[in-house]
Chain A
Amino acid sequence: MKPLRFLLKKEFLQIFRNKGMLPIIFVMPVIQLLLLSFAATYELKQVRFGLVDFDQSYASRKLVSKLQSTGYFKLESEGFTMEQALNHLDAGTIKMILQIPPDFDKKLNTGEASPVQILIDAVDGSTAGLIQSYTASIIADFNRERMSEVMIVSNAPRKATALKIIPVNWYNPDLDYITYMVPGILVVLVSMIGLFLSGMNVVREYEIGTIEQLNVAPLQKSHFMIGKLLPFWLIGMFDLCIGLALARFGFHIPFLGSLFTILVIAGIYLIVVQALGLFISTITHTQQQAMFIAWFIMVVFILMGGLFTPIESMPKWAQDLTLVNPVAYFIEIMRMVLLKGAGWKEVYKMVLILVTMGFGLMALSINRYKKTSA
């Protein structure tokens, strides 16, 4: 075990001497969490809209003020021609047009169907969808209120109460975006450290040529590997702990499952991505090549890992691909354990898959390392 101690000492000396990288390693979890959680959000904020109100009635004003009072919509322009409003939509100064027909109030009072028109800028599909569903629910709300008023006045016979669905959102009752994103972002953080740093470190020995001396030294391959992997494994775990603390006390993410479970699985997951990084290092000769390949793999893994878009809504072939995506497994596990309080029983299958991946990749890269150096 003695040579291992010296290898580790050397690695830590080099890591802590690298003035360019060291701060990033420790500031990264904070910045990533803050940026991604606060800036990249799916919640609707201050949608500017244009109003074309041909009715100018009590009811139409009521609808508009209801829209505004929610805080999601801001009245940007008001006019009496659709052309004018459409120009604004084209120019991008507004995202939505609300058109109220001339007989809106009258029809409402007589109990007739009284449609309004909504035109949405759908360049960004997901925002457009959000605008539509927000508007629809506000209008539905408006309808209910009107109905009750009309019924009191007219004293009309009540219709039989229809079956009503009241959705309750479990595990994330307020559909809070941050609660959903933070566990996933922690995964990205750990993956970046595991995949980039350890692989890169081996390639660096090739680049500066020191691998030649190490190869002729009476070192065991396993010691060399552990010497390369362990420092970054520790840094990855350390960063994860910073991230978890921030999630718990900064973002008030519920920690329903056990922290111990998370840490054990994170440890396994880190070995998987480190083994992948090691494998990349055995098929490349410069840090530039290694970095490029690692980025390519990372982007694919993250985009297909269910961080931003749910895996269930991907096409079948893409869903099949996630079966070999370690990022997808760990994101799923993190969300299950943190938000749903899942224990070993619920996640052990996924953990077994991660363990298998780790063994496979590690064997592959050690095998390749021997071939390239001996």
Chain B
Amino acid sequence: MPAVEVHSIYKSFEDVKALKDISFSVEEGELYGFIGPDGAGKTTLFRILNTLLIPDEGTATVLGLDVVDDYKTIRPMLGYMPGRFSLYQDLSVQENLEFFASVFGTTISENYELVAPIYSQLEPFKNRYAGKLSGGMKQKLALSCALIHKPKLLLLDEPTTGVDAVSRKEFWEMLVDLKKQGIAIIVSTPYMDEAKLCDRVALIQEGSLMQIDTPLNIVNGYDRPILGIKSRNTYKLLQALKLYEWTHSAHPFGEFIHFTEKREKPDMIALEAFLLDNGIDDAVIKEVEPGIEDSFMALMRKEVASD
């Protein structure tokens, strides 16, 4: 039995179509990622899965139960961490965890094992108010609170937004550990680099799913060779590439610009000569492996083109 099964869900808010024909399924013990920019519909989808919103059309089952009809049975089996960090700032770390354990009818000691790897890091500060924790620690406490009742499915809505790089990495390591315990995890993120750690990834854009696959397949499905070009003056470089007759796409990725050509095989020598003519004498050009970000950009271009 899949942990989540969704069949062509639609949801609109007044005149905004938040979700259009969304279908997917998540297996038990799978770490499933939703990747998409802000406003893509991720939070709306999460709120349907956690039974707080009712879809306009389509059906969704969570752990084999319908999200509309059986919401009362589903709720205790879910762990939900909303995007906006929300714990009681004026209660201590321990009091927060105790409270969320008790509203789900359990105690800390009952499920301590499950949260121990995360919560043990917080225990030295267990008497500190949640409002006085650092961003990374708040996130860990929120995850502990979402886990304390031993849910079968974990819904994490942008858990790492606004968290520093080190804490993000730690957080994802915890998710991978949790997955091993058989908990299905659905996580949404705007960060492409986090997608690599998911079992499967769904790319979502403006309320529609563009592609669902493993991170590896998504990357392999990318058919064009990519060149990484670097220059001191990235802006001038980007302007120059736009003038080049063979340019298919050019997006800045950190210090490099990821560049693809309309031709099957890009001609690096011709490109370098063209750039030199356009006053860029320090261009470094090398072949790079495509990443999920490249796929996402390419898919977005296709969507826009087909519209």
- Mark interface residues in B78-113 (1 if CB within 8 Å of A CB, else 0): 101010111111110001000110111100000000
Whether B95 pairs with A3 at a CB distance below 8 angstroms is no
Shortest Cβ distance from B155 into A: residue: A216
Whether A374 pairs with B91 at a CB distance below 8 angstroms is no
Residues of chain B having any CB pair with chain A under 8 Å: 50-52, 72, 75-76, 78, 80, 82, 84-91, 95, 99-100, 102-105, 145-146
Whether A14 pairs with B91 at a CB distance below 8 angstroms is yes
Whether A2 pairs with B105 at a CB distance below 8 angstroms is yes
Please name all residues of chain A whose beta carbon is closer than 8 Å to the beta carbon of B52 when the two chains form the complex. 212, 215-216, 373-374
Instruction: State in angstroms the CA–CA spacing of A265 and B85 once bound together.
Output: 42
Confirm or deny: A168 has a beta carbon within 8 angstroms of a beta carbon on chain B.
no
Instruction: State in angstroms the CA–CA spacing of A7 and B98 once bound together.
Output: 11
Looking at B85, B99, B146, which has the most chain A CB atoms within 10 Å of its CB? B99
The one of A17, A18, A213, A218 in contact with B105, judged by C-beta atoms closer than 8 angstroms, is A218
Residues of chain A having any CB pair with chain B under 8 Å: 2-3, 6-7, 10, 13-14, 17-18, 208-210, 212-219, 373-374
Tell me the smallest distance from the CB of B130 to a CB of chain A, in Å.
10
Please name all residues of chain B whose beta carbon is closer than 8 Å to the beta carbon of A3 when the two chains form the complex. 102-103, 105
For chain A, what secondary structure do more than half of its interface residues adopt (helix, strand, loop), or is it mixed?
Answer: helix
Tell me the smallest distance from the CB of B174 to a CB of chain A, in Å.
19
Once A217-B75, A374-B52 are accepted as A-B contacts, the answer to whether A6 and B99 lie under 8 Å apart by CB is yes
Whether B89 pairs with A216 at a CB distance below 8 angstroms is no
Please name all residues of chain B whose beta carbon is closer than 8 Å to the beta carbon of A218 when the two chains form the complex. 72, 75-76, 103-105
Tell me the smallest distance from the CB of A33 to a CB of chain B, in Å.
30
Tell me the smallest distance from the CB of A185 to a CB of chain B, in Å.
31
Once A6-B99, A10-B99, A212-B80 are accepted as A-B contacts, the answer to whether A217 and B104 lie under 8 Å apart by CB is yes
The one of B75, B87, B104, B146 in contact with A210, judged by C-beta atoms closer than 8 angstroms, is B87
Please name all residues of chain B whose beta carbon is closer than 8 Å to the beta carbon of A10 when the two chains form the complex. 88, 91, 95, 99
Whether A216 pairs with B51 at a CB distance below 8 angstroms is yes
Chosen A-B contacts, 26 in total, with CB atoms closer than 8 Å, are A2-B102, A2-B105, A3-B103, A6-B103, A7-B103, A10-B88, A10-B95, A10-B99, A13-B95, A14-B88, A18-B90, A208-B89, A209-B85, A209-B86, A210-B86, A212-B80, A212-B82, A212-B84, A213-B80, A216-B50, A216-B78, A217-B75, A217-B100, A218-B103, A219-B103, A373-B52
Whether A209 pairs with B82 at a CB distance below 8 angstroms is yes
Whether B103 pairs with A14 at a CB distance below 8 angstroms is no
Instruction: State in angstroms the CA–CA spacing of A2 and B102 once bound together.
Output: 8
